[in-house]
């Protein structure tokens, strides 16, 4: 895609941006905005004012260069065309997105926690209002939605689509395994580096056992959140609610993410999943990159591409195509310009509620326990296990979406293995997130 040609008809127009949430994502967008002539952040907003001031200064901007506020809905805030919502707070993002759409502002949603619960209705509300709601380039959901769209446009048949979990597993020559800066000696992974083509399931389970023995997780909630957004955008479904999430080298993806009938891990085709990237300490990182595994329908074509270094399965039936990085706010302007100048989303075109991210108790809980997120980056509530299941209407006895459950207090004991439902919680006043979810259920006829 030639972006000069795409945006040529809008040359000279500047898109004004209201940025809410100046954490890692927002700070990188602030910094990138300095290099762009056709985009201006007219207002930055964060309730943590010292953090916002630090981010503005860190981007090389002075206090006079940006209007800063702790409430972007105030009457004295400078006008803007596009709201970038990057708080990561499900309720705040729901409130701000609804406000922006009602005030005819486009919404670029970086808070995927909100998107996985009510993205489809926000998209429909924006369309009815004549504005754009979209996931953001620079984060995996939009990048993978785009990659799936690209593959389908080319007539490629998708077997599996997914992403690498955010942090690589790194194995050095002495068999020391590292993850997120933690290290374990004598991991036993050296003996599992190569996998025979007919032993995928057994070998990936042995690798999983190594991860667990080291005390490392093989999945994080944020991965399920992102893949839920992708499922609702593309119709691709998880192969199983808890994902396979194998530990794989990049060159193994095409082999592993084939159907079982062809020697892979998957029960069927058209699936989504996640893998944990295993690499040497001097190897290239996949670090949250996205991929599709496609069916090889022409032997001559894919033999030629394999010779050019593309990852093709040993049986020649599948190939892996990827975007092996995401650049946070550095590439978020693509979504902002597409919305503000072209009136187009870079994410979902017509999302529908296909799946829900829910929580299963991984241990026993007691009445009165608060389900507090303890790791904001991994979205972890200790003792809860994430699952992606077919979407259902919110009700007392149906599985409760993860980000409606998080932060709530239990009204009764919950036994290990139970899926959390609304009836298990102390009642709270209706929130914007819950209200819009109920409206979404009705709009799309969920039962």
Q: What is the pLDDT along the chain (447 residues), one digit of tens a residue?
A: 899 999 988 988 999 999 999 999 999 999 999 999 999 999 999 999 999 999 988 888 876 767 999 999 999 999 999 999 999 999 999 999 999 999 999 999 999 999 999 999 999 999 999 999 999 999 999 999 999 999 999 999 999 999 999 899 999 999 999 999 899 999 999 999 988 766 777 888 999 999 999 999 998 999 999 999 999 999 999 999 999 999 999 999 999 999 999 999 999 999 999 999 999 999 889 988 999 999 999 999 999 999 999 999 999 999 999 999 888 889 999 999 999 999 999 999 999 999 999 999 999 999 999 999 887 777 889 999 999 999 999 999 999 999 999 999 999 999 999 999 999 999 988 899 999 999 999 999 997
The structure tokens 């065309």 sit at 81
Q: Which residues pair with 357 in a beta bridge?
A: 388
CB atoms within 10 A of CB 173: 9
Residues counted in the chain: 447
CA–CA dist 411, 205 (Å, integer)? 37
pTM: 0.95
Which two three-digit tokens encode residue 240?
């199983």
Which two three-digit tokens encode residue 68?
């800063």
φ/ψ of 209, rounded to 5, equals -60, -35
Dihedral Cα 331, 337, 342, 345, nearest 10 deg: 50
CA–CA dist 355, 390 (Å, integer)? 4
The domains of the chain are located at 3-138+329-342, 142-326, 355-443
Domain 355-443 sits in CATH 3.30.70.260? no
Write down the CATH number for the domain with range 3-138+329-342: 3.40.50.720
User: Do residues 326 and 143 lie in contact, with contact meaning Cβ atoms separated by under 8 Å?
Assistant: yes
User: Do residues 280 and 172 lie in contact, with contact meaning Cβ atoms separated by under 8 Å?
Assistant: yes
Angle formed by the axes of helices 112-129 and 221-234, nearest 10°: 30
Which two three-digit tokens encode residue 438?
């109920």
């Amino acid at each position: 895609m030639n972006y000069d040609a795409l945006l040529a008809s809008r040359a000279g127009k500047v898109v004004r941006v209201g940025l809410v949430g100046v954490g890692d994502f927002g700070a990188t967008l602030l910094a990138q905005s300095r290099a762009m002539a056709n985009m201006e952040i007219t207002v930055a907003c964060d309730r943590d004012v010292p953090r916002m001031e630090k981010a503005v200064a860190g981007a090389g901007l002075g206090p006079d260069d940006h209007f800063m506020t702790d409430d972007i809905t105030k009457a004295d805030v400078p006008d803007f065309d596009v709201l970038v919502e990057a708080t990561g707070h499900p309720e705040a993002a729901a409130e701000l997105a609804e406000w922006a759409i009602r005030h005819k502002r486009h919404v670029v949603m970086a808070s995927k926690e909100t998107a996985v619960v009510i993205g489809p209705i926000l998209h429909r509300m924006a369309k009815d209002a004549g504005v754009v709601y979209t996931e953001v380039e620079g984060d995996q959901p939009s990048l993978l939605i785009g990659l799936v769209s690209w593959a389908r446009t080319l007539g490629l048949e998708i077997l599996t689509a997914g992403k690498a979990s955010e942090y690589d597993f790194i194995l050095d020559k002495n068999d020391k395994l590292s993850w997120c800066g933690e290290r374990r000696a004598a991991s036993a992974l050296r003996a599992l580096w190569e996998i025979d083509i007919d032993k995928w399931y057994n070998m990936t389970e042995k690798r999983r056992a190594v991860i667990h023995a080291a005390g490392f997780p093989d999945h994080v909630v944020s991965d399920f959140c992102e893949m839920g957004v992708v499922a609702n955008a593309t119709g691709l479904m998880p192969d199983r609610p808890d994902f396979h999430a194998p530990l794989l080298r990049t060159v193994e993806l095409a082999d592993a993410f084939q159907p079982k009938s062809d020697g892979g891990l998957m029960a069927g085709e058209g699936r989504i999943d996640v893998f944990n990237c295993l690499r040497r300490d001097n190897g290239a990182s996949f670090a949250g990159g996205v991929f599709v595994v496609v069916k090889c329908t022409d032997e001559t074509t894919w033999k030629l591409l394999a010779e050019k270094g593309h990852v093709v399965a040993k049986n020649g039936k599948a190939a892996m195509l990827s975007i092996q990085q995401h650049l946070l706010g550095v590439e978020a302007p693509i979504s902002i310009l597409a919305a503000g100048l072209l009136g187009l989303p870079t994410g979902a075109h017509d999302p529908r509620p296909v799946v829900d991210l829910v929580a299963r108790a991984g241990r026993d809980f007691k009445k009165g326990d608060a389900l507090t997120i303890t790791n904001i980056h991994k979205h972890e509530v200790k003792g809860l296990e994430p699952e992606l299941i077919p979407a259902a209407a919110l009700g007392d006895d149906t599985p409760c979406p993860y980000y409606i459950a998080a932060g709530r207090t239990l009204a009764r004991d919950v036994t290990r293995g139970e899926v959390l439902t609304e009836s298990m919680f102390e009642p709270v006043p209706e929130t914007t997130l819950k209200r819009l979810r109920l409206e979404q259920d009705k709009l799309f006829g969920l039962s």
